Amino acid sequence: MARDWNAAGYTALPLPHVQWGARTLARLPLNGDEYVLDAGCGPGRDTLALLARVPRGRIAAVDASPQMLAELRSRVTEKSDRLEVIQADLTQPLPLRERVDAIFSVATFHWITDHEALFDNLASALNQDGRLVAECGGRGNISSIHRAADEVLGRPGEMWEFPAEDETSRRLQQAGFRDVHVRLRPDPVHIEQFEVWLDYLRVVVLGGYLDAMPAAEQEAFVRAVAAQLPDQVVDYVRLELSARR
């Protein structure tokens, strides 16, 4: 099962995910009556936007993190039978009532190292002709931070999958997807304030490293990684993908 997240810390940050979400939403054509899966919905920023995009449809918001799902539930102002909030692992058969018409995902797939299992599982949850539109970290994503963290740790921390375009195209086709489009998009983010930069490293980027070490060592680790880096830049390289089942 995937790790839990500090949802309050996450939503308090200046997240480029807001822009990634808007860009990914803009790539997903919808009629308004579809059943859509938000795969790795987190605190639900895009889930709520999707809900508004399908006024006659439904959304299944799936995430493994109890804290993220609690944050999403707290944001739903009206009780809606058009929204299902489901705690599940995206690599395991999903407890959906039926297959969905579309799958949307932002900043999640790279936290799952087995993309064959992920895409097989998503394909089996999607109706024939249904679309998958997603983005995640791609080849080269956060490479300078990853390198600095490994140096401080003294060994490679292997918690992400940042694949190249051709690898992802092949995996999607093997899982039964067609009309596959994949592209890498460098998208560095500069974080001005030092305290926010430390929080960003702590909550968004280095969480996988921190979970695996005693609490007493975590703060020194974050500061040592920050000290290794020449500037306060997250060297993001996004992988944007779309496909049809």
Ligand X SMILES: C[S@@+](CC[C@H](N)C(=O)[O-])C[C@H]1O[C@@H](n2cnc3c(N)ncnc32)[C@H](O)[C@@H]1O
Residues that bind ligand X (CB under 6 A): 2, 5, 17, 21, 40-42, 45, 63-65, 68, 89-91, 106-108, 111-112
Lay out the sheet containing 178-186: strands in order across.
Answer: 83-87, 58-63, 35-39, 100-106, 126-137, 237-244, 178-186
Closer Cβ to ligand X, 179 or 211, answer by number: 211
- For the CB of residue 26, give the shortest distance to ligand X in the complex, in Å: 15
For the CB of residue 208, give the shortest distance to ligand X in the complex, in Å.
10
Nearest-approach distance from CB 154 to ligand X, in angstroms: 26
Using the minimum distance from each CB to ligand X, give the nearer residue, 91 or 242. 91
Distance CA 107, CA 142 (A): 13
Rounded to whole angstroms, the Cα distance separating 50 from 232 reads: 32
Shortest CB 234 distance to ligand X, Å: 12
Nearest to 108 by CA among 2, 182, 230: 2
Of the pair 2, 164, the CB lying nearest ligand X is at 2
Residue 73, SS3? helix
Nearer to ligand X, 136 or 225 (CB): 136
DSSP structural state of residue 193: S
